[in-house]
Amino acid sequence: MELVHSLTLHLSAFVSLSDADREVLDKALRKRARILAPRQDIIREGEKPRFVNVILEGWAQRYKQLADGRRQILSFFVPGDLCDTNVFILKSMDHSLSAVTQVRLAEISQREFQEIIETSPRIAQALWWSELVTVAIQREWTTSIGQRTAYERIAHLLCEMFVRLRTIGRTQERSCEFPLTQSEIADATGLTQVHVNRTVQEMRREGLIEIRNKRLEVHDLRALMAVAMFNPNYLHLEAGGHECIAPE
């Protein structure tokens, strides 16, 4: 069941899955897999989508790129995340997906995806929850760019990624993988690389975080959440009984 582990944890954050549900997911994920190099596009804007992509290992991102090369990162994907479960209604992609790190993903066709939904009402319900959270994250990112300061934006992003990774068992005490470059953080938060660098260094001096060797160390999650005004309710983890706050 190794392949399905992260997806099971992700969906179990919303609905309790049975052994039969896990077998359905495991079978679907084992049919067709791809490995992509860092920065390689999974699918580009304008291309016709053929599969729902499930991230099994690595980090990926959704982005829009302007004609002059400027880019806005719209979301990050971590193991267990599904990229655009509703792509089959599109004639062509209106955004692009690419790998941040080396990525191993599973491809699920429209027919296979429909069979999963019809076979398991619990999986279908979990997928609805997952899509709700995806849209909620987008709303939160829009709020960050429109209203939060640079410090708050970056702190909020760090909180979100740490909590999401902890939900799928990808943290070690107070640290987690964090492969994002300052350029990628800038493109996700609407800031310049110089501003990102200064802000991250300020957080480090204040004893909140440390980013080194592609890992994030959160020294005080509660304090980081406070300065970010991070309210985790938009992740809807309470549906699966998850606790996102660091223990006292």
98-132 per-residue burial string, b: 16 or more CB within 10 A, e: under 16: bbbbebbbbbbeeeebeebeebbebbebbbebbee
Q: Which two tokens stand for residue 242?
A: 């998850």
Decide if 122 contacts 16 (C-beta within 8 A): yes
3-state SS track over the chain: CCCCHHHHHHHHCCCCCCHHHHHHHHHHHCCCEEEECCCCEEECCCCCCCEEEEEEECCEEEEEECCCCCEEEEEEECCCCEECCCHHHCCCCCCEEEECCCEEEEEEEHHHHHHHHHHCHHHHHHHHHHHHHHHHHHHHHHHHHHHCCHHHHHHHHHHHHHHHHHHCCCEECCEEECCCCHHHHHHHHCCCHHHHHHHHHHHHHCCCEEEECCEEEECCHHHHHHHHCCCHHHHCHHHHCCCCCCCC
CATH of 5-126, one of 3.40.50.150, 2.60.120.10, 3.90.600.10, 3.30.465.10: 2.60.120.10
The series of mean pLDDT values per 10 residues for the chain, 248 residues long, is 72 92 92 96 95 96 96 97 86 95 95 92 94 95 97 98 94 96 98 98 97 97 96 82 49
Decide if 55 contacts 79 (C-beta within 8 A): yes
Half-sphere exposure of 85 (CA within 13 A, CB side): 21
**178: CB partners within 8 A, 6+ apart:** 161, 211, 214, 215, 216
Q: What was the pLDDT predicted at 248?
A: 39
Q: What was the pLDDT predicted at 149?
A: 98
Q: How many residues make up the chain in this entry?
A: 248
Q: What was the pLDDT predicted at 86?
A: 82
Q: Which CATH class is domain 148-240?
A: mainly alpha
pTM beyond 0.85: yes
Q: What was the pLDDT predicted at 75?
A: 97
What does the domain layout of the chain look like in residue ranges? 5-126, 148-240
